[in-house]
Amino acid sequence: MRWLPFQLNPDLPESGIPREDYVARKFGTPGKGANARVAAAGAQLGITFDYERMRVQPNTLNAHRLLHYAERAGRQDALAEELFKAHFTEGANLTDRDTLADVAARAGLDRDAVADYLAGDADREVIERADVEARSAGIGGVPFFIFNRKVGVSGAQDPDTLLQAMEQSLGA
């Protein structure tokens, strides 16, 4: 499994924007109803979504750069889990490079090496190109699953739907 770059909001400034402003701009109203449904669904699976702690809607370019970095170190899955936890449960500001370095350390990466990596622009163009490729392929949201490079499934789906897609990809 690989995590591929796709930014939901590539137009956000590098420092992100206040979460309240983002929700109002994107949905026109406070997202409390949708947030409550997602939080309830997550709770059934033991996943905590704490939208009240989320103060910044991040531009995720550096987080995607970090996932690319983590893939080379064999820590991509661990980092993805820590990024999700930091954002959705802890309300961490994922535009802050020190915060990203701390999260990476929790995922088993060398914090100082990550901080040095994030201080530069390494892999920025790689991530930007991959994001454009995803959009050009018709991907418009997350989650989006690609099985065996043959079958794509958009959105949060039940396990049976994902299993069917996996099986289809083997016969395609």
Residue pLDDT, tens place only, 103-120: 999 999 999 999 999 999
Domain range for 171 is 142-172
Closest CA to 113 of 101, 126, 98: 101
**Average of per-residue pLDDT across 72-83:** 98
Same structural domain, 83 and 154: no
Same structural domain, 92 and 156: no
d(CA 167, CA 172): 9
Same structural domain, 70 and 112: yes
pLDDT of residue 144: 95
Same structural domain, 22 and 96: yes
Same structural domain, 25 and 84: yes
d(CA 127, CA 81): 19
Same structural domain, 134 and 79: yes
Same structural domain, 105 and 128: yes
Same structural domain, 46 and 73: yes
Q: What contacts 52, CB < 8 A, 6 or more positions away?
A: 91
pLDDT of residue 30: 62
Q: Are strands 144-147 and 17-18 parallel, antiparallel or unpaired?
A: unpaired
Can the peptide bond before residue 18 be classed as cis, meaning omega within 30 degrees of 0? no
Percent of the chain with pLDDT over 90: 83
- Identify the bridge partners of residue 56 per DSSP, sorted by sequence position: 18
DSSP readout, 10-65? Answer: TTS-TT-EEHHHHHHHHHSS--HHHHHHHHHHHHHTT----GGG--EE---HHHHH
pLDDT of residue 32: 65
Same structural domain, 87 and 164: no
**Average of per-residue pLDDT across 132-146:** 94
Q: Which of 28-42, 55-69, 82-96, 99-113 has the lowest mean pLDDT?
A: 28-42
Same structural domain, 94 and 159: no
Same structural domain, 103 and 161: no
In the chain, how many domains are there?
2
145 by DSSP, 3-state: which?
Answer: strand
Question: pLDDT, tens digit, for every residue of 20-56?
Answer: 899 888 877 765 677 888 888 889 989 999 999 999 9
**Average of per-residue pLDDT across 122-132:** 97
Residue 108 lies in a domain: yes
d(CA 55, CA 33): 18
CA dihedral of residues 78, 49, 96, 10 (deg, nearest 10): 90
